[in-house]
């Protein structure tokens, strides 16, 4: 099949996952959730009991865990050392720790290399994360940067997981701050990314807009 890489970046709760999955399905493309990879590594780090502030120890655990992630619509599941961690990686412990683990340069180098390999082998793929257009796939055919108001993002997240809106808003703000200010590959909009504010848009509208952008390119 023809090669096509779509990079979807943006802060937590901007609608990246829902939009990226729908877009991938509608294009018959694969889908890679890079956040799930950072979350699975974080799960392994928490299980190991190493100190989260010990970058060297965290990197060692990351290098040793056997991480597998599905990119085919048949299953986007994640396993660590052969065990499904699908539920665990969405839990509060992993969510609280993931930005610290994702800030470790050696962890990023490891996962960025894995992601680039998967993209090269994929053909058509929609890749979602924080640094896809800027670092992982700078040559992507389309780069999108999704945003939404802080209130809309918190409302969406808490609707998804039935959590308290105020607590969710505080958690999103905390992770955005950590993700945007870290030294290694911070959350950033690539200069050639199309910014789309999804505050007032439904999922179908966003997906339709991205399909238009893809059709118009080049
Ligand atoms: O997208 P999701 O909320 O699952 O990502 C979880 C965390 O993983 C982010 O808050 C960020 O710290 C990290 N991440 C990253 N780079 C990516 C994807 C996720 O640093 N490409």
More confident residue, 128 or 202: 128
Domain of 140, in residue numbers: 4-216
pLDDT in tens, 170-179: 989 998 999 8
Mean pLDDT of 31-50: 98
Number of domains in the chain: 1
Tell me how far the alpha carbon of residue 72 lies from the centroid of ligand 1, in angstroms.
20
Average pLDDT of the residues of the chain: 94
Q: pTM to 2 decimals?
A: 0.95
| Residue whose CB lies within 8 A of the most ligand 1 atoms, among 35, 135, 193, for a mutation test | 35
Strand spans (E) along the chain: 4-9, 30-33, 67-69, 78-80, 83-84, 124-129, 142-147, 194-197
Each residue's pLDDT tens digit, 110-166:
999 999 999 999 999 999 999 999 999 999 999 999 999 989 999 988 888 788 899
Residues 164, 71: Cα–Cα separation, whole Å: 31
pLDDT tens-digit readout, 73-120:
889 999 999 999 999 999 999 999 999 999 999 999 999 999 999 999
Going by pLDDT thresholds of 50, 70 and 90, the confidence category of residue 218 is: low
Residue minimizing CA distance to atom 19 of ligand 1: 35
- Whole-number Å distance, alpha carbon 71 to ligand 1 midpoint, is 17
CA 175 to centroid of ligand 1, rounded, Å: 9
Is 13 assigned a ligand-binding role in the annotation? yes
Among protein residues, the one with the nearest Cα to ligand 1's atom 6 is 35
Q: Are 156 and 85 in contact (CB under 8 A)?
A: no
Alpha carbons 40 and 46: distance in angstroms, whole number: 10
Closest ligand 1 atom to 115 CA: 21
Q: How far is the CA of 100 from the centre of ligand 1 (A)?
A: 10
Neighbours of 84 (CB within 10 A): 12
- List the CATH number of the domain containing 197: 3.40.50.300
ipTM: 0.98
Q: Residues with Cβ within 6 A of ligand 1?
A: 12, 34-35, 38-39, 98-99, 102, 129-131, 175, 179
Greatest CA span in the chain, whole angstroms?
A: 50
Q: What is the model's pLDDT at position 1?
A: 55
- How many whole angstroms separate alpha carbon 164 and alpha carbon 172? 12
């Amino acid at each position: 099949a023809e090669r096509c890489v779509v990079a979807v970046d943006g802060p937590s709760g901007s609608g990246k996952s829902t939009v990226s999955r729908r877009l991938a399905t509608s294009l018959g493309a694969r889908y890679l959730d890079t956040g799930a990879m950072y979350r699975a590594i974080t799960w392994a780090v928490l299980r190991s009991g190493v100190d989260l502030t010990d970058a060297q120890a965290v990197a060692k655990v990351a290098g040793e865990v056997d991480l597998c992630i599905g990119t085919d619509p048949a299953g986007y599941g994640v396993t660590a050392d052969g065990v499904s961690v699908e539920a665990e990686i969405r839990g509060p412990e992993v969510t609280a720790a993931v930005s610290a683990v994702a800030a470790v340069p050696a962890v990023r180098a490891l996962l960025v290399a894995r992601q680039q390999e998967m993209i090269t082998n994929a053909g058509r793929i929609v890749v979602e994360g924080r640094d896809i257009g800027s670092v992982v796939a700078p040559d992507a055919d389309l780069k999108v940067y999704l945003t939404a108001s802080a209130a809309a993002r918190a409302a969406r997240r808490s609707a998804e997981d039935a959590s308290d809106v105020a607590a969710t808003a505080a958690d999103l703000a905390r992770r955005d701050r950590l993700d945007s200010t870290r030294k290694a590959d911070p959350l950033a909009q690539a200069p050639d990314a199309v910014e789309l504010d999804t505050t007032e848009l439904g999922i179908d509208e966003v997906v339709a807009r991205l399909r238009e952008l893809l059709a118009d390119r080049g």
